[in-house]
Amino acid sequence: MKPILETKDLCVSYGNTKILENINISINKGEILGIVGESGSGKSTLLKSLVSLLPSNAKIEHGNIFLENKDLVKLSKEELRQIRGKEISIVFQNSGASLCPIRTIEKQFMESAKAHQDISDEDIRKSIDEIFPKIHLKDVDRILKSYPFELSGGMNQRVGIALAMLNKPSIILADEPTSALDVTAQAQVVKTLMRLRDDFNTSIIMITHNMGVVSYMVDKVAVMYNGRVVEYGSKKDIINRPLHPYTQMLIKSTPNMKKGKLYGIPGKAPVFGDAKRGCAFVDRCNKSMGKCYTEIPSTVSYDNSIVNCHLYKELAEEEIIV
Ligand SMILES: Nc1ncnc2c1ncn2[C@@H]1O[C@H](COP(=O)(O)OP(=O)(O)O)[C@@H](O)[C@H]1O
Ligand code: SF4
Ligand SMILES: [Mg+2]
C-alpha cells in the first residue's frame, strides 16, 4: 500500500541549530501513528512541519514531505494554506486556547468551512450534524451558540477535533490532545479519535506521553530522542520487545500500579546544537560501549523495526541512513 503521508530524510533547524535530523516516517490510510519521547525531543516541531505551521525562525533544511503525490516542501504558501484544514488538520494540546475567544463556535465552524469550500450555511450545518453525534457531542444548538470559555476543557477539545474534521481531512495530527484533561475527558477524547478512524478511515498522527494511550489506540510508534527517530515499528513490537535502550527505559518508566515502584530515566537529554561525536544517548545508556562515544550510530532495519543504535548494526538486515 502506498502511504498517504511520508517524510524522507526530513531535517529542520531553528536559526543555526539543527533540531530534526533525517526523519523518515510514513502513515497509511486509516492508520494511527503514535509519536513518543521526552519533552524537548522535537515531537511538536515534527508535527508542525507536516502541517506547514513552523514558526518564522524555522527552516526545512533538507528532505521531503509527500502527501500522496505532492511534496509539501516544494509548495507555495497559498497551496499549503489550501491543504491545511482540508487535507491535513491539526488538534493542539489545548484547543480551547486555539479557538478564538470572541467568536461563537458556530461562527468559527462557518469560517473554517468557507475558507476551503464553496459551501452554503445549510450544508455546513449538515456536516456539523453528521460529525457532532459521532463524537458524542450532544445538544448541538447549545454548543454552536457558545463561546469557548463557556465549555469545559474536555468539551472544547472535542469541539477542536470536530472543527479539525469539518472538511473531512484524510489526516489529523494531534499534539498531546489529552494531556491537559482529567482522566474522564482523556478517555472521551481517545474514544473520539478512534471513532474518526473507524467511521471516516481518517489517518491520525498523535503525540502522547501516555503509554496507556499508545497501547490502547495506535498501530505503530515512532520513538524520538534529541531530534531523531531512534526506534520505529509496530506497537506490538515496540511494547513487547523494545530494541533501543531508550525505548526500553521509556517503557520501564511507565507508571504501573502493580509494580508500585517508580522508575525514572537517569540523566538529562543533551542540548541541541552541541557538537556530538557519538550517540546522543550515550551518557544515559546502560548498554553503551566504546564506539558509542566516538561514532554516531546508523539507522538500520532489524526484526521488522527501524533502530538507531550500534547494538544492531552487525545484526541488521539493511543500513538505512548513516
Ligand atoms: N520557536 C522556536 N525557536 C527556537 N527553538 C525552538 C522553538 N520551538 C522549539 N524549539 C526548540 O526545539 C527543541 C524541540 O522542541 P519541541 O519540538 O517543542 O519538542 P517536544 O514537542 O518534543 O517537547 C527544543 O529544544 C525547543 O527548545
Ligand atoms: S548506540 Fe550505544 S549509547 Fe547509543 S543507545 Fe545504542 S548502545 Fe546506547
Ligand atoms: Mg511538544
* Cell reading at 210: 501516555
> Ligand 2 within 6 A of 281 CB?
yes
* DSSP class of 241: S
Q: Which of 44, 271, 274 to mutate to test the pocket of ligand 1 (most atoms within 8 A of CB)?
A: 44
Q: Helices (H) and strands (E) in the chain — how many of each?
A: 11, 14
Confidence at residue 322, expressed as pLDDT on a 0 to 100 scale? 41
Q: What is the pLDDT of residues 266-313, one digit of tens each?
A: 898 888 987 778 999 999 999 999 999 999 999 999 999 999 999 998
The total of other beta-carbon atoms located within 10 Å of residue 168's CB is 14
CB distance 28 to 212 below 8 Å: no
Confidence at residue 233, expressed as pLDDT on a 0 to 100 scale? 97
> 12 — phi, psi (to 5°)?
-130, 140
Confidence at residue 158, expressed as pLDDT on a 0 to 100 scale? 87
Which residue's entry shows cell 449538515? 126
CB distance 302 to 318 below 8 Å: no
> Ligand 2 within 6 A of 167 CB?
no
Query: Which residue has the least CA distance to atom 4 on ligand 1?
Result: 14
First to last CA, the chain: 27
> Ligand 2 within 6 A of 309 CB?
yes
322: CA distance to ligand 2 center in Å? 15
Provide the CB-side half-sphere exposure for 279 (13 A, CA). 26
Rounded distance between C-alpha atoms, residue 95 and residue 321, angstroms = 37
> Ligand 2 within 6 A of 284 CB?
no
Rounded distance between C-alpha atoms, residue 282 and residue 293, angstroms = 7
Q: Is 63 left (phi over 0), alpha (psi -120 to 50) or beta?
A: left
Q: Which of 246, 281, 300, 313 to mutate to test the pocket of ligand 2 (most atoms within 8 A of CB)?
A: 281
Ligand with the closest atom to the CA of 39: 1
Query: Which residue has the least CA distance to atom 18 on ligand 1?
Result: 44
Q: What is the pLDDT of residues 31-42, one digit of tens each?
A: 999 999 999 999
Type of residue at 213? V
Confidence at residue 257, expressed as pLDDT on a 0 to 100 scale? 60
Rounded distance between C-alpha atoms, residue 51 and residue 121, angstroms = 27
pLDDT means over runs of 10, the chain (322 residues):
94 96 96 95 96 94 95 94 89 80 93 85 92 86 95 88 88 88 81 88 92 90 97 96 96 75 83 86 95 94 94 74 48
* Cell reading at 245: 535502550
Query: Which residue has the least CA distance to atom 24 on ligand 1?
Result: 40
> 166 — phi, psi (to 5°)?
-55, -45
181 contacts: CB under 8 Å, gap ≥ 6? 153, 154, 157, 189
Rounded distance between C-alpha atoms, residue 234 and residue 18, angstroms = 28
Q: Which of 289, 294, 302, 322 to mutate to test the pocket of ligand 2 (most atoms within 8 A of CB)?
A: 289
- Entry pTM: 0.92
Q: Which of 123, 124, 163, 158 is nearest to 138 (CA)?
A: 158
> Ligand 1 within 6 A of 44 CB?
yes
Q: Which of 225, 310, 228 is nearest to 269 (CA)?
A: 225
